[in-house]
Amino acid sequence: MARYDRAITVFSPDGHLFQVEYALEAVRKGNAAVGVRGTDTVVLAVEKKSTPKLQDSRSVRKIARLDTHIALACAGLKADARVLINRARIECQSHRLTVEDPVTVEYITRYIAGLQQKYTQSGGVRPFGLSTLIVGFDPYTDKPALYQTDPSGTFSAWKANATGRNSNSMREFLEKNYKETSGKETVKLAIRALLEVVESGGKNIEIAVMTKEDGLRELEESEIDEYVAEIEAEKAAAEAAKKGGQKDA
């Protein structure tokens, strides 16, 4: 009978955990996802790869709600994501039951990261092949928060971050263009970052906006198209201004 207690994730001679690194490869092949934190809003934007004609797109939601004040988007293996999201949802309720208080974003991120780490140090299992972007509002301080976890089990807080396909170019864009924003501006910043690597159009982007008052709201395709149109117009105006300036000089 096969023995399932042998570890799969073991060190290489030069100190790497190859299984974890291969999991990161799986993440790099996953769909692009961006998260941006504003002063009163957090936004998650995820690339929607073209849906087959016969598929019911409503059953393929990329952004998951963990609790009334916490949402998660991820890049990588979607089946692994389902398992992780279910465990996180149970932990959110369990915390409410034992301490009579909702979880903080940091707490649930720590839990998810801890879970991902456990699977890099157990026998017979492989690491989760996904990185997550977790957004939410702290129930005590009412401040928005954005965290990222990866297959190795590390986590940290970010002002804005991207993961999945072409995440490097998105992150570069965010580093160049990030500033403190609120409300609609935060949404636009997230969309602009995603449009760097994704075909433009409401059909290819899924966006969720979270505010303290209204909780999590998924934007309709028409709303996304409006934003995209605004952004294109702004871009065109900026190009024109640049050209005009060059002409004068």
- In the complex, the residues that contact other proteins under the rule CB under 8 A are 98-101, 104, 106-107, 110, 140
Q: Which two tokens stand for residue 167?
A: 């995440």
Q: Which residues of 59-97 are buried (b: 16+ CB within 10 A; e: fewer)?
A: eeebbbbbbebbbbbbbbbeebbeebbeebbebbeebee
Strand order in the sheet with 160-163: 160-163, 33-37, 41-47, 205-211, 215-218
25 versus 101: smaller Cβ distance to other proteins? 101
Q: How far is the CB of 104 from other proteins (least distance, A)?
A: 7
Q: How far is the CB of 99 from other proteins (least distance, A)?
A: 4
Residue entry with tokens 């979607």: 78
86 versus 94: smaller Cβ distance to other proteins? 94
Q: How far is the CB of 140 from other proteins (least distance, A)?
A: 7
Q: Which two tokens stand for residue 189?
A: 């910043």
Per the DSSP assignment, residues forming a β-bridge with 137 are 144
> Whole-angstrom Cα distance, residue 150 to residue 226?
33
139 versus 215: smaller Cβ distance to other proteins? 139
Q: How far is the CB of 75 from other proteins (least distance, A)?
A: 28
> Whole-angstrom Cα distance, residue 199 to residue 238?
20
64 versus 103: smaller Cβ distance to other proteins? 103
Q: How far is the CB of 130 from other proteins (least distance, A)?
A: 25
Instruction: Give the residue among 44, 104, 102 at the shortest CA–CA distance from 74.
Output: 44
Q: How far is the CB of 117 from other proteins (least distance, A)?
A: 15
38 versus 102: smaller Cβ distance to other proteins? 102
Q: How far is the CB of 137 from other proteins (least distance, A)?
A: 15
2 versus 97: smaller Cβ distance to other proteins? 97
99 versus 241: smaller Cβ distance to other proteins? 99
Q: Is 85 helix (H, G, I), strand (E, B) or coil?
A: helix
Q: What is the distance between the terminal CA atoms of the chain, rounded to a whole angstrom?
A: 79
Residue entry with tokens 């157990």: 122
Type and span of the H or E element at 33: strand 33-37
